[in-house]
Amino acid sequence: MLVGLMTGCYYDVVLPPDPNAPPQNVSFSGDLQPIFDTKCATTGCHDGAHAPNLTADESYNALMSGGFVNTAIPTESILYQVLQQGRMPPTGKLPSSDIQMVLDWIKMGAPNN
């Protein structure tokens, strides 16, 4: 008796952020701040050492008052551009799903939610 075993491969398809997609609901404190906490507001980076300060108590005001967010033309936001281009964080480009969340949040009007 010959038993054949079939195996398959699973590949994650990683799509780049879609600037034309309708925005999904994103929470600044629940979705974005955890990304900033682990990838950006680390010692010597955006913990107050470099602008914008992305620590939990300062991040929203720092982004909004520092010119990093452009709700009129979201794709021209400095925050989105540096993430999309992979210039930040220096440890490696964020997953496209995280970058899409940032863009969606800006497209929603960048609420402090």
pLDDT tier at 15, thresholds 50, 70, 90:
low
Residues 2-14: tens digit of each pLDDT: 555 445 555 555 5
| pTM (2 d.p.) | 0.83
Listed in sequence order, the DSSP H helices in 1-113 are 33-35, 59-65, 78-84, 96-107
Q: What distance in Å separates the CA atoms of residue 60 and residue 112, rounded to the nearest whole number?
A: 7
Q: Contact 46/36 with Cβ under 8 angstroms? A: yes
Radius of gyration of the chain (CA): 18
Residues 35-76: tens digit of each pLDDT: 999 999 999 999 999 999 999 999 999 999 999 999 999 999
Among candidate residues 74, 66, 40, the one with its CA nearest the CA of residue 54: 40
Q: What distance in Å separates the CA atoms of residue 104 and residue 13, rounded to the nearest whole number?
A: 20
Q: What distance in Å separates the CA atoms of residue 91 and residue 65, rounded to the nearest whole number?
A: 26
Which DSSP symbol is given to 41?
Answer: S
